[in-house]
């Protein structure tokens, strides 16, 4: 059940990027079939793979792992909107010491 929900979160993140599975596989550097199996909840990704996927989708790992529907605090859409845009450096805050 956890892998199925992880797969659904991956599909949502890919969909929000506007990518096909082939485009997502290319962007993440993983095999297309492996990505399909991850999204279907058949394969169990490594922690490293989760970090790579989250970075490619410009979301947090916790958004991929968020499998408890009742405690979802941040939707993937909100996470995507909050993610830094490609090509832009994060701005430094005014920060008080």
Averaged pLDDT, 2-6:
90
Between the CA of residue 19 and those of 2, 24, 27, 32, 71, what are the distances in Å?
Answer: 23, 6, 9, 13, 27
- The tally of domains found in the chain comes to 1
Q: Specify if 94 maps to a domain.
A: no
Q: Specify if 29 maps to a domain.
A: yes
Residue 77, CB-side half-sphere exposure with 13 Å CA sphere:
0
Indicate the range of 18-27, 30-39, 83-92 predicted with least confidence.
Answer: 83-92
Give the structural domain span for 42: 2-81
Q: Specify if 87 maps to a domain.
A: no
Segment 24-78, tens digit of pLDDT: 999 989 999 999 999 999 999 999 999 999 999 999 999 888 756 544 544 556 6
Q: Specify if 35 maps to a domain.
A: yes
């Amino acid at each position: 059940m956890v892998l199925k929900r992880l797969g659904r979160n991956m599909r949502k993140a890919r969909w929000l990027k506007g990518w096909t599975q082939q485009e997502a596989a290319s962007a993440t550097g993983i095999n297309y079939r492996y990505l399909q199996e991850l999204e279907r909840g058949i394969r169990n990704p490594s922690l490293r793979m989760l970090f790579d996927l989250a970075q490619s989708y410009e979301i947090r790992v916790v958004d991929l792992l968020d499998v408890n529907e009742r405690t979802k605090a941040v939707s993937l859409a909100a996470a995507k909107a909050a993610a830094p845009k490609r090509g832009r450096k994060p701005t430094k805050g005014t920060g008080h010491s």
